Amino acid sequence: MSALSIVPYFPFARVKVAQQTVHLDLPKPGTFLRLEPDQRFRPLCHECGTAGSVHSHGLRRIIRNLDFGPARTFLQVEYRRVWCPHCQKAKVEQLRFADPSRRITHRLAQAIYDLCKVMTVQDVADPFELDPKTVKAVDQHFLQQGFGRTDYDGLSILAVDEIALRKGHQYMTVVLDYLTGRVVWMGEGRSMETLDVFFAGMSAEQKQGLQAVAMDMWEPFINRVQHHCPQAQIVFDLFHLVKAFGEVIDEVRREEVRKADTQEDRQYVKGSRYVLLKNRQNLRPAKRVRLRELLAANERISAGYMLKDPLKMIYHYRSRAWAKKALDPWCERAEEVDHPAMRRFIRRLRFFEYDILNPCDHAIGASPLEGVNNKIKVIKRRAYGFHDPEYFALKIKQASPGRKSITETG
Ligand SMILES: [Zn+2]
């Protein structure tokens, strides 16, 4: 037997490699392997795996395999139809190395799935010269198997958040296990009905297990949490509060842009969104100078901006009474900024005051939301499934499996 046999590279059960042909004259070199059924075995039904008798011979199909060296590799597979005693029907024979609905081997499918974890569908499709639709279908199939089911087990503190697929248009709701950072569920929209779908899959016992839900000051979410798990405290955590306050500062900034006298001033304030919303510690020196100049030049923006850190400080209190003592003067200072967006924010703050101070009771640590939001941004940028929210949701669940919770690692 030749030591140069290629057969060991194709250890597929129940078939034998009958012939190999290499074509070097194609636009790209190609290897064709003819696979025949190994007559020593009875064929299996692809549906249920039961061994049956041969119903008909001579069916053929070409299945793409992983490339062999520089050559595209195709399997010319001969297979049979089997009379399945279990299904009581003639069925296609099971091929261990490929799915009957696909024209690629499991090996190639696995490689595609692995690459799709870090690359775009298009970038994976190009070198293989595959249709991007095929690549996406393979990735989605594996994702569905791994992440399609919602795992409601062991949840005690949740975070509910919304993300915009297209700004101002299409929203999705994300539910996160706050203690581990795992994305538990994602659904289209951000309405009461959206959260109803999430809660519908939960048992009464699992709902009872929820102690707190962190979220934005968004009424539909508040309403549904109070309805489905009234014992759970609603918590406006630091992450959401800072996010909401960032939007207030941005509204103040936008109005200052409109009011600016000269074109130069307008451009200056207009380009300052980033420095205002970003954490000061994370700004590069040049941007810090920019921020300092802006705050010196515009009193109103400065007054709003200076409220940011004291607002965060309220979250460091572990006593509700002390937190309230800090919140009252904060609101007075915020009134002085004299802006409708700020007044709206204060009104909501006052209305939800009890809930805002809930973090004092639930010592919620660093929010995993920021990390998850960053991952979402990366996946969005890679343009995965913008037009397919289901695929997008699976990608995000895959990217955010969560770390082990404190209780688990015990
Ligand atoms: Zn069967």
- Are 244 and 345 members of one domain? yes
Q: Length of the chain in residues, anyone?
A: 410
pLDDT band at 221 (very low <50, low <70, confident <90, very high): very high
pLDDT above 70 covers a percentage of the chain that reads 92
Q: How far is the CA of 165 from the centre of ligand 1 (A)?
A: 43
Q: How far is the CA of 80 from the centre of ligand 1 (A)?
A: 14
- Are 344 and 376 members of one domain? no
- Please report, as a single letter, which amino acid is at residue 290: R
Residue 383 has pLDDT above 70, yes or no: no
- How many domains does the chain contain in total? 3
- Please report, as a single letter, which amino acid is at residue 167: K
Residue 238 has pLDDT above 70, yes or no: yes
Q: How far is the CA of 126 from the centre of ligand 1 (A)?
A: 37
Q: What is the pTM of this model?
A: 0.80
Q: How far is the CA of 54 from the centre of ligand 1 (A)?
A: 13
3-state secondary structure of 89: strand
- Are 376 and 390 members of one domain? yes
Q: Residue 390 is part of which domain span?
A: 157-236+370-409
Q: How far is the CA of 143 from the centre of ligand 1 (A)?
A: 26
In a domain, 182, yes or no: yes
d(Cα 41, Cα 78) in Å, to the nearest integer? Answer: 15
- Are 278 and 355 members of one domain? yes
Q: Which position has the higher pLDDT, 215 or 366?
A: 215
d(Cα 109, Cα 138) in Å, to the nearest integer? Answer: 6
Q: Which residues pair with 92 in a beta bridge?
A: 81
pLDDT at 404: 66
In this structure, what CATH number is given to the domain that contains residue 216? Answer: 3.30.420.10
pLDDT at 83: 96
| Mean local confidence (pLDDT), 279-296 | 85
Q: How far is the CA of 87 from the centre of ligand 1 (A)?
A: 4
**Which range, of 89-93, 151-155, 301-305, 369-373, averages the lowest pLDDT?**
369-373
Q: How far is the CA of 323 from the centre of ligand 1 (A)?
A: 67
Strand locations in 192-315 (E): 212-214, 233-235
Residue 109 has pLDDT above 80, yes or no: yes
- Are 212 and 317 members of one domain? no
| Mean local confidence (pLDDT), 72-79 | 94
- Are 355 and 379 members of one domain? no
Among 74, 73, 29, 77, CA closest to 57: 77
d(Cα 242, Cα 375) in Å, to the nearest integer? Answer: 19
In a domain, 51, yes or no: yes
pLDDT at 408: 41
In a domain, 61, yes or no: yes
- Are 341 and 287 members of one domain? yes
Angle at 8 between CA 5 and CA 11, to 5 degrees: 140
> DSSP label at 57?
E
pLDDT per position as a tens digit, 305-362: 889 888 888 877 777 788 888 888 999 999 988 889 999 988 888 877 777 667 666 6
pLDDT at 184: 96
Q: How far is the CA of 84 from the centre of ligand 1 (A)?
A: 5
pLDDT at 409: 37
pLDDT at 273: 82
- Are 339 and 249 members of one domain? yes
Residue 406 has pLDDT above 50, yes or no: no
Residue 389 has pLDDT above 80, yes or no: yes
Q: How far is the CA of 136 from the centre of ligand 1 (A)?
A: 29
Average pLDDT value for the chain: 87
Q: How far is the CA of 101 from the centre of ligand 1 (A)?
A: 16
pLDDT at 407: 46
Residue 1 has pLDDT above 50, yes or no: no
| Mean local confidence (pLDDT), 253-272 | 80
pLDDT at 366: 60
**With left for phi above 0 and alpha for psi between -120 and 50, is residue 29 left, alpha or beta?**
beta
CB under 8 A, 24+ apart: contacts of 204-211? 206/152, 206/153, 206/155, 209/154, 209/155, 209/156, 210/155, 210/156, 210/157, 210/158, 211/156, 211/157, 211/362
- Please give the full DSSP string across 22-34, using - where no structure is assigned: EESSSSS-EEEEE
Among 3, 80, 8, CA closest to 46: 80
Angle at 383 between CA 220 and CA 369, to 5 degrees: 45
Q: Which residues pair with 157 in a beta bridge?
A: 212
pLDDT above 90 covers a percentage of the chain that reads 45
In a domain, 283, yes or no: yes
3-state secondary structure of 166: strand
Residue 4 has pLDDT above 80, yes or no: no
| Mean local confidence (pLDDT), 72-86 | 95
pLDDT at 189: 92
- Are 319 and 379 members of one domain? no
- Are 248 and 303 members of one domain? yes
Q: How far is the CA of 142 from the centre of ligand 1 (A)?
A: 23
d(Cα 304, Cα 132) in Å, to the nearest integer? Answer: 48
pLDDT at 29: 85
- Are 345 and 242 members of one domain? yes
- Within 13 Å of residue 309, how many CA atoms lie on the same side as its CB? 6
